[in-house]
Amino acid sequence: MLKFGFETLNLHRIELKVFAFNPRALCCYEKGGFKKEGPRRHVHFHEDQYHDAYYMGILQEEFADHRA
């Protein structure tokens, strides 16, 4: 998906949001080259409590370096 975004669509950056109660997804995105850009506090109500979300992003040049 990232390859399509960067190489075919020529995007400069791709970003996503992941909830703090999902550490497996957070780890997966970091392994894919995404970097945490900042948290947003109490943005999602799940199982009777509020949870933070992390915004993550990857730039085109970071993707190229990560693949090398």
At 66 the pLDDT is 84
One-letter identity of residue 21: F
Average pLDDT over residues 40-44: 95
- Sketch out the chain's domains with CATH numbers: 2-67 (3.40.630.30)
pLDDT-above-90 percentage for the chain: 90
* Distance separating the N- and C-terminal Cα atoms of the chain: 17
Average pLDDT over the chain, rounded to whole?
94
Q: Cα(59)–Cα(52) distance, rounded to whole angstroms?
A: 23
Contact 17, 26 (CB under 8 A): no
Instruction: Grade residue 44 by pLDDT with cuts at 50, 70 and 90.
Output: very high
Question: Reduced to 3 states, what is the DSSP secondary structure of residue 62?
Answer: helix
For the cut 80, the answer to whether the pLDDT of residue 67 exceeds it is no
